Amino acid sequence: MSNSYPRETIEFAFPRVTEADVVVTTGVTFALFANGTRPTTWDAPTIVDGKTGVMLTGMAPGLYRIFAKVASSPETPVIDCGYVSIT
Protein backbone atom coordinates (compact mmCIF):
# COMPACT_ATOMS: atom_id res chain seq x y z
CA MET A 1 0.00 0.00 0.00
CA SER A 2 1.45 3.34 -1.01
CA ASN A 3 -0.98 6.24 -1.29
CA SER A 4 -0.87 10.00 -0.99
CA TYR A 5 -3.62 12.06 0.64
CA PRO A 6 -4.00 15.79 1.40
CA ARG A 7 -3.96 16.48 5.15
CA GLU A 8 -7.62 17.57 5.03
CA THR A 9 -8.67 14.08 3.96
CA ILE A 10 -10.77 11.77 6.07
CA GLU A 11 -10.19 8.40 4.44
CA PHE A 12 -10.56 4.73 5.33
CA ALA A 13 -7.39 2.83 4.41
CA PHE A 14 -7.80 -0.93 4.34
CA PRO A 15 -4.66 -2.93 3.66
CA ARG A 16 -5.51 -6.51 2.78
CA VAL A 17 -4.32 -8.77 5.60
CA THR A 18 -4.23 -12.49 4.82
CA GLU A 19 -3.15 -15.64 6.57
CA ALA A 20 -2.65 -18.73 4.41
CA ASP A 21 -4.29 -16.78 1.53
CA VAL A 22 -7.47 -16.16 3.59
CA VAL A 23 -8.46 -12.57 4.41
CA VAL A 24 -8.25 -12.01 8.17
CA THR A 25 -10.97 -9.86 9.76
CA THR A 26 -10.76 -10.92 13.43
CA GLY A 27 -7.85 -10.71 15.84
CA VAL A 28 -6.24 -7.92 13.79
CA THR A 29 -4.83 -4.74 15.29
CA PHE A 30 -3.11 -1.91 13.43
CA ALA A 31 -0.30 0.56 14.10
CA LEU A 32 -0.08 3.79 12.10
CA PHE A 33 3.12 5.69 12.84
CA ALA A 34 5.67 8.10 11.41
CA ASN A 35 8.18 6.51 9.03
CA GLY A 36 11.53 5.83 10.65
CA THR A 37 10.02 4.79 13.99
CA ARG A 38 8.67 1.47 15.24
CA PRO A 39 5.10 0.75 16.36
CA THR A 40 4.53 0.93 20.10
CA THR A 41 0.74 1.13 20.20
CA TRP A 42 -1.63 -1.25 18.45
CA ASP A 43 -5.22 -0.17 17.93
CA ALA A 44 -8.43 -2.00 17.13
CA PRO A 45 -9.31 -1.70 13.47
CA THR A 46 -11.95 0.51 11.99
CA ILE A 47 -14.45 -1.70 10.16
CA VAL A 48 -16.26 -0.42 7.07
CA ASP A 49 -18.34 -2.70 4.84
CA GLY A 50 -16.76 -5.77 6.47
CA LYS A 51 -13.19 -4.58 5.75
CA THR A 52 -10.66 -3.89 8.50
CA GLY A 53 -8.34 -0.91 8.35
CA VAL A 54 -7.42 2.47 9.78
CA MET A 55 -9.05 5.88 9.47
CA LEU A 56 -6.75 8.61 8.18
CA THR A 57 -7.86 11.88 9.75
CA GLY A 58 -6.23 14.87 11.41
CA MET A 59 -2.71 13.80 10.47
CA ALA A 60 0.23 16.16 10.03
CA PRO A 61 2.00 16.10 6.66
CA GLY A 62 4.62 13.37 6.42
CA LEU A 63 5.26 9.76 5.52
CA TYR A 64 3.61 7.12 7.69
CA ARG A 65 3.76 3.31 7.88
CA ILE A 66 0.91 0.93 8.55
CA PHE A 67 1.58 -2.40 10.26
CA ALA A 68 -0.96 -5.09 11.10
CA LYS A 69 -0.64 -7.64 13.90
CA VAL A 70 -2.68 -10.84 13.85
CA ALA A 71 -3.38 -12.68 17.10
CA SER A 72 -3.17 -16.31 16.02
CA SER A 73 -1.97 -18.85 18.60
CA PRO A 74 0.79 -19.93 18.78
CA GLU A 75 2.10 -17.24 16.40
CA THR A 76 1.53 -13.49 16.26
CA PRO A 77 2.62 -12.30 12.83
CA VAL A 78 3.33 -8.61 12.27
CA ILE A 79 2.82 -7.50 8.67
CA ASP A 80 4.26 -4.40 7.01
CA CYS A 81 1.29 -3.01 5.04
CA GLY A 82 3.18 -0.17 3.39
CA TYR A 83 3.30 3.60 3.36
CA VAL A 84 0.81 6.45 3.42
CA SER A 85 1.91 9.95 2.51
CA ILE A 86 0.02 12.90 3.98
CA THR A 87 0.63 16.14 2.04
Domain extent listing, the chain: 2-86
| pLDDT classification of 2: cutoffs 50, 70, 90 | low
Beta strands in 1-87 (DSSP E): 2-5, 11-13, 18-19, 22-23, 28-34, 46-48, 51-56, 62-70, 78-86
Q: What is the CATH number of domain 2-86?
A: 2.60.40
Q: pLDDT digit string (tens) for 4-18? A: 999 998 999 998 888
pTM of this structure? 0.85
Q: pLDDT digit string (tens) for 26-67? A: 899 999 999 999 998 999 999 899 888 999 999 999 999 999
What are the φ and ψ backbone dihedral angles of 10, each rounded to 5 degrees? -115, 110
Q: What's the angle, vertex CA 44, arms to CA 11 and CA 62, rounded to 5?
A: 45
Residue 21 scores a pLDDT above 90: no
